[in-house]
Amino acid sequence: MDKTVPDLAAAVAGIEDGMVLMVGGFGGSGAPIELIHALIDRFKATGSPKNLTVVNNNAGNGRIGIAAMIDAGMVAKIVCSFPRSADPRAFTEKYLAGEIGLELVPQGTLAERIRAGGAGIPAFYTPASFGTDVAKGKPVAEFDGKSYVQERWLKADAALIKAEMADTMGNLTYRKAARNFSPLMAAAAKLTIVQATNIVAPGEIDPEQVVTPGIFVNRVVEVAGAKQEEALMRDGVAYA
């Protein structure tokens, strides 16, 4: 029961063409930059994985992380709530050229769909988006006199997650607001891959402070000096 892997390349093995890939983080907070860049490295070396569907709140910023995946040509479609950022060029250019797909999902619905995917709830009703263009084509129903939209669960073949602390069994904590979508995605993916700032032995994380139990985690790799998206942006880094 040791889920640690030796390096980033081993961590991202098995992510293949056409997969649905969830990526944790909200903007740069919680973005697993090093895992993403390891996946880009593999693509550059082997031409795979491509045609990915990427699920994230956003659609990349600058020329790093998800934006660099888009620039590299690995992404067929983005599922997100807010495909804008300080520098959204990577997505915007391809979107306006019709070269990348977009499924726009209200943020709370996105979170709840992912949570439902992890929790075995195939569908649920939410008031969000009722009566709007975003709800077009979706079933609606009335409960207690109010109208709701039916939404389906969202699952992934793999998830890339950034944690603060991990034990070797995959129990995780997150740093401040960096948890955002990550605990949900860890549960909704078949293959959950975690970069942690610090890997410790089982028992070193207080069981009451575990945010993501190890049952949701498949691989853990230590990335001690993980880069923050905002810092890379200011340094003008372009990865693709």
- The stretch near a second copy (CB under 8 A) out of 29-37, 41-49, 99-107, 145-153 is 145-153
Give, to the nearest 10 degrees, the angle between helix 65-72 and helix 89-96. Answer: 40
Closest CB to another protein among residues 48, 228? 228
Smallest gap, in angstroms, from Cβ of residue 205 to a second copy? Answer: 12
| 143 interacts with, out of a second copy, another protein, none, CB within 5 to 8 A per kind | a second copy
148 binds a second copy (CB under 8 A): yes
Within positions 72 to 91, which residues make up the interface with a second copy, using CB under 8 A? Answer: none
Does the bond joining 207 to the residue before it have cis omega, within 30 degrees of 0?
A: no
Assess 95 for contact with a second copy (CB under 8 A).
no
> What is the length of the chain?
240
The gap from C-alpha 190 to its chain's centroid, in whole angstroms, comes to: 13
Q: Given the structure tokens 């040791």, which residue do they identify? A: 2
How many residues lie near a second copy (CB under 8 A)?
A: 23
In angstroms, rounded to a whole number, what is the distance separating the alpha carbons of residues 239 and 232?
10
CA atoms of 107 and 90, how far apart (whole Å): 21
Asked if residue 112 binds a second copy (CB under 8 A), the reply is yes
- For residue 1, the tally of other CB atoms under 10 A from its CB is 7
Residues near a second copy, by CB under 8 A: 112, 116, 119-127, 141, 143-144, 146, 148, 152, 173-174, 176, 207-209
